[in-house]
């Protein structure tokens, strides 16, 4: 088992992602401490389920917004299981207000649960690791919004941005002691935090269309990564963030998009697939503010596209599941967009056509897709 004999404390462990981390860790042999501040029955039921499955767990109540309670939580874990190996700062809330709408009370509450608790729990865990003279791991369940703006939810984004720097700075400070700090940054996950979106079919479809894998993550998707990071198979990872978002962050130009759900991904229509046999078509559309076009040959965007081409040229043969020649074509924008000061359209379309051409088709130029007037293949 990956976590046999290890003790793991999970804040907010009686629901959502935290609950699944508890279940997954126990299944891999860990002793699990389920922290809760409300819904004690849910915590007790979780412990019972884990024990019936042959695992070991205990539920401990602690108000994670109080440093004294966090210290008591760590002591309780050590008193019960003899040591601490992993802390998961999982508890989190949001209030979905903009900068102009947020209140001091709302801001303080979000920061206390999301940021303050992670800071002082990390401190308490690190002190315990030093007392034990053992290595240790602190996992922070952050969010893609530690990097990616989410207008209308500013306090949440600020708290996750703080968690990002907590992992990076604490990881550097604690590294010499063998203590690692790693963030897990999920995208949209099927948890109570996203209940309002999941209950609105239109909003849910809009969200799914913005995710290349076309679905929200399940808590189990996050829990499996947490178990991997807590195992000995990830012992060289620290002071960094692991993003689990179905590709949505990279699809939105590297987490710098400002719209709530962007871009939109659609599957090729049957007629399109029929007219381009053997061709995989990916397209994205997103509304963008007016700004200078950046698709000149010397631009950073152009360099990013070149790297994307190289990545797809490596991946497309796997998609085809047999040796292939890969061709990448960037569909150009209107000629006016190539001017350094041209105004970018508010709604733009980018397409990358990743075409696989089987070696069995290369023997005859007449049967090659290049015979139709396409430009020469770009091979990476």
What string of DSSP letters covers 81-106?
HS---EEEE---------TTT--HHH
Task: Kindly list the distances between the CA atom of residue 369 and the CA atoms of 352, 355, 364, 380, in Å, as whole numbers in the listed order.
Answer: 16, 9, 10, 18
HSE-up of 157 (CA within 13 Å, CB side)?
17
From CA 144, how far away is CA 357, in angstroms rounded? 36
- The residues near 187 (Cβ < 8 Å, ≥ 6 apart) are 144, 211, 216, 217, 243, 244, 245, 246, 248, 249
Question: Is 36 labeled as catalytic in the residue annotation?
Answer: no
Tokens describing residue 128: 């315990």
For 182, list phi and psi in degrees, rounded to 5: -135, 135
Among 124, 88, 123, CA closest to 6: 88
**Start-to-end CA span in the chain (Å):** 40
Of 156, 177, 236, 261, catalytic: 156
- Whether the Cβ atoms of residue 167 and residue 142 lie closer than 8 Å to each other: yes
- Whether the Cβ atoms of residue 128 and residue 84 lie closer than 8 Å to each other: yes
- Strand ranges inside the chain, DSSP E: 7-10, 31-36, 56-61, 86-89, 136-141, 179-186, 240-244, 264-265, 279-287, 324-330, 347-358
- Whether the Cβ atoms of residue 187 and residue 261 lie closer than 8 Å to each other: no
Paired strand residues for 358: 324
Task: Kindly list the distances between the CA atom of residue 57 and the CA atoms of 18, 38, 46, 81, 316, in Å, as whole numbers in the listed order.
Answer: 14, 18, 9, 10, 45
C-alpha torsion angle, residues 64, 65, 68, 71 (rounded to 10): 30
Output the CA torsion sign for 130, 26, 230, 188: negative
- In this structure, the chain runs to a length of 380
The residues that are catalytic are 156
């Amino acid at each position: 088992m990956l976590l046999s004999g290890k003790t793991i404390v999970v804040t907010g462990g009686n629901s959502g992602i935290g609950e699944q981390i508890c279940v997954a860790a126990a299944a891999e042999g860990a002793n699990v401490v389920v922290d809760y501040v409300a819904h004690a029955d849910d915590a007790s039921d979780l412990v019972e389920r884990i024990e019936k499955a042959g695992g070991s767990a205990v539920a401990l109540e602690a108000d994670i917004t109080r440093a004294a309670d966090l210290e008591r939580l760590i002591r309780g874990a050590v008193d019960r299981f003899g040591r601490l190996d992993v802390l998961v700062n999982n508890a989190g809330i949001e209030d979905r207000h903009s900068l102009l709408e947020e209140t001091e009370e709302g801001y303080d509450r979000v920061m206390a649960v999301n940021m303050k608790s992670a800071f002082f729990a990390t401190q308490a865990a690190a002190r315990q690791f030093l007392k034990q003279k053992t290595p240790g791991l602190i996992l922070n369940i952050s969010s893609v919004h530690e990097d990616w703006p989410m207008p209308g939810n500013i306090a949440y984004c600020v708290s996750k941005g703080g968690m990002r720097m907590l992992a990076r700075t604490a990881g550097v400070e604690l590294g010499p002691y063998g203590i690692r700090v790693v963030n897990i940054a999920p995208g949209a996950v099927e948890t109570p935090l996203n209940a309002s979106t999941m209950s609105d079919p239109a909003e849910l479809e809009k969200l799914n269309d913005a995710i290349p894998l076309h679905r929200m993550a399940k808590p189990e998707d996050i829990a499996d990564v947490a178990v991997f990071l807590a195992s000995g198979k990830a012992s060289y990872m620290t002071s960094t963030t692991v993003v689990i978002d179905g590709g949505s962050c990279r699809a939105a130009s590297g987490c710098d998009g400002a719209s709530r759900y962007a871009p939109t991904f659609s599957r090729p229509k049957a007629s399109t697939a029929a007219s381009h046999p053997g061709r995989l078509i990916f397209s994205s559309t997103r509304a963008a503010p007016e700004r200078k076009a950046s698709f000149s040959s010397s631009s950073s965007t152009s360099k990013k596209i070149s790297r994307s081409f190289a990545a797809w040229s490596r991946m497309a043969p796997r998609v085809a599941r047999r040796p292939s020649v890969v061709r990448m074509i960037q569909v150009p924008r209107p000629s006016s967009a190539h001017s350094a000061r041209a105004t970018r359209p508010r709604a733009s379309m980018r397409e990358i056509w990743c075409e696989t051409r089987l070696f069995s088709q290369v023997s005859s130029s007449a049967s090659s897709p290049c015979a139709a007037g396409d430009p020469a293949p770009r091979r990476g």
